[in-house]
């Protein structure tokens, strides 16, 4: 339970293991400082964690099996690494060990257009997959913003801007090939659209953050490219008005494809960063997919609903270039925020609540952040009830981190009280383990822990993530720097 309290000395990897790794992987194995550093960073705000002791670049499933077998023999942690875009410290070697880089396992193995499925290796990124789908009339919808690897998206149960219409990785992963901690290959699921055959290991693996197995093949669902698309942007006098309109739109049952909130402050950051001249007011960015007639119908209904909440400057675009200009604001929001204060990092919140609770949860949290004077960006997949504050901090100033984490903790407590979750799409990582206990309760967390022990008895798979003290023995090589501890 309290292994975070018992730091072990930094011992590095045992010499015989180093020799075996060198023999097995040759040039695909590295202990070079630059390579380790590169694998010891992600998009989270954690900057004080030591890098992994070594990096292995896997090229096929046999590499993954061999590494896990070796790691198991020496009880050394293995941390799967895809594109490095985690926001919650998933990739950080909090107990040392080996970073398992799967970015070279980046082949699209099959595209079955008739069945609307694709089989990919874990290092394939979402943009790469969509590039490969050009000309098929299909696309892979899950879009977390960053060009994440499909393996990583699978690990964090990612979603993003159009989950409101197309679902998250939970709905869009059909089957997996997984290597277990014991180095064994397991297949879960099939390419059939549905199944009632046995326990749903696929869904158990999706969202397991590298702690139950390493994905080596992933079958995802594809969707037909809509015949017509249009994007619309609408500004509102205040953030409460924008949220009110979003709620009405969801409740109307319109199959909106995307609906993103951006607060006035963040529009300002984006204007500066991307040299745009968007109206600096809270805005909803929307996208409609369907036939030309249904897209027009949807947009008209939405414009009327927005108007009831003071929505003005309703502008829409159907050609791809104009659409992509509109979406620039949203896609650059994170980097625009980071760039707004030199050297800062963002502590990103990720609560998600039932839509009827969205206004209360969001507006109260805005008030709190404003009162405390913490700078932030604010964007939201409001169609899902999910939004992200990015509290901007100097990562080397503990008092700034503390204030931001206090805001985060209050926001999470509020979301849980409102029947929501601490994480809509980023995952738990090393940041929200206490929140998971608050949300799920100890009995559920004990079941998760029991599952972890069964799948990974030595706790070598990404230890120190999702669950505190999942194993309690073995592989505890180095503790997580106390400076990045989560709030109480």
Residues 366-395 that bind a second copy (CB under 8 A): 384-386
Stretch that binds a second copy, among 186-194, 258-266, 277-285, 309-317 (CB under 8 A): 186-194
Q: Is 354 in the site for a second copy (CB under 8 A)?
A: yes
| Contact predicate 276/230, CB 8 Å | no
Among 22, 136, 271, 294, binds a second copy (CB under 8 A): 294
* Cβ-based nearer residue to a second copy, 431 or 478: 431
Q: Is 18 in the site for a second copy (CB under 8 A)?
A: no
Site for a second copy in 253-272 (CB under 8 A): 253
- Shortest distance in whole angstroms from residue 227 CB to a second copy: 8
Among 64, 302, 369, 422, binds a second copy (CB under 8 A): 422
| Backbone phi and psi for residue 251, each to the nearest 5 degrees, phi listed first | -70, -20
- Shortest distance in whole angstroms from residue 284 CB to a second copy: 18
* Cβ-based nearer residue to a second copy, 52 or 226: 226
Tokens representing 278 are 């968007």
* Cβ-based nearer residue to a second copy, 96 or 424: 424
Q: Is 447 in the site for a second copy (CB under 8 A)?
A: yes
Q: Is 434 in the site for a second copy (CB under 8 A)?
A: no
CA-to-CA distance for 287 and 285, rounded, in angstroms? 7
Binding map of a second copy across residues 155-184, x = CB under 8 A, - = no contact: -xxxx---x---xx-xx--------x---x
| Contact predicate 229/287, CB 8 Å | yes
Q: Is 302 in the site for a second copy (CB under 8 A)?
A: no
Binding map of a second copy across residues 100-119, x = CB under 8 A, - = no contact: ------------x-xxxx--
Stretch that binds a second copy, among 28-36, 44-52, 362-370, 447-455 (CB under 8 A): 447-455
């Amino acid at each position: 339970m309290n292994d975070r309290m018992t730091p072990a000395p930094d011992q590095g990897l045992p010499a015989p293991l180093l020799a075996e790794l060198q023999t097995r992987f040759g040039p695909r194995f590295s202990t070079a400082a630059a390579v380790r550093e590169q694998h010891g960073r992600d998009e989270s705000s954690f900057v004080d964690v030591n890098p992994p002791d070594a990096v292995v670049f896997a090229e096929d499933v046999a590499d993954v099996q061999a590494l896990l077998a070796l790691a198991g023999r020496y009880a050394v942690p293995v941390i799967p690494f895809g594109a490095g875009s985690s926001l919650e410290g998933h990739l950080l070697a909090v107990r040392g060990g080996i970073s398992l880089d799967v970015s070279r396992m980046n082949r699209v193995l099959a595209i079955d257009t008739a069945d609307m499925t694709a089989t990919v290796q874990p290092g394939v990124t979402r943009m790469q997959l969509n590039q490969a789908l050009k000309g098929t009339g299909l696309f892979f919808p899950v879009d977390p913003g960053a060009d994440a690897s499909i393996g990583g998206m699978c690990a964090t149960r990612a979603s993003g801007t159009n989950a409101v219409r197309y679902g998250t990785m939970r709905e869009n992963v059909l089957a997996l090939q997984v290597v277990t901690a014991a180095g064994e290959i397991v297949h879960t699921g099939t390419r059939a659209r549905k199944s009632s055959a046995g326990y749903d290991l696929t869904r158990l693996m999706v969202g397991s953050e590298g702690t139950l197995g390493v994905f080596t093949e992933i079958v995802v669902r594809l969707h037909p490219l809509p015949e017509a698309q249009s994007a619309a942007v609408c500004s509102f006098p205040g953030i409460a008005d924008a949220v009110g309109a979003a709620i009405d739109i969801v409740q109307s049952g319109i199959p909106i494809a995307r609906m993103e909130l951006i607060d006035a402050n963040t529009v300002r950051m984006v204007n500066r960063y991307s040299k745009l001249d968007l109206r600096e007011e809270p805005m909803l960015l929307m996208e409609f997919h369907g036939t030309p007639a249904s897209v027009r119908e949807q947009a008209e209904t939405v414009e009327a609903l927005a108007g009831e909440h003071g929505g003005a400057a309703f502008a829409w675009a159907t050609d791809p270039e104009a659409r992509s200009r509109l979406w620039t604001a949203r896609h650059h929001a994170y980097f625009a925020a980071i760039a707004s204060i030199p050297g800062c990092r963002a502590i990103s919140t990720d609560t998600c609540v039932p839509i009827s609770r969205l206004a209360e949860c969001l507006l109260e949290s805005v008030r709190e952040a404003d009162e405390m004077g913490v700078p932030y960006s604010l964007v939201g997949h409001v169609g899902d009830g999910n939004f992200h504050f990015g509290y901007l901090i100097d990562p080397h100033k503990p008092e700034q981190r503390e204030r931001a984490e206090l805001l985060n903790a209050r926001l999470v407590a509020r979301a849980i009280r409102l029947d929501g979750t601490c994480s809509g799409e980023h995952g738990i990582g090393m940041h929200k383990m206490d929140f998971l206990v608050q949300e799920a309760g100890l009995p559920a967390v004990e079941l998760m822990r029991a599952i972890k022990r069964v799948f990974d008895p030595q706790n070598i798979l990404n230890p120190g993530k999702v669950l505190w003290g999942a194993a309690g023995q073995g592989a505890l090589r180095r503790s997580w720097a106390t400076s990045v501890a989560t709030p109480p």
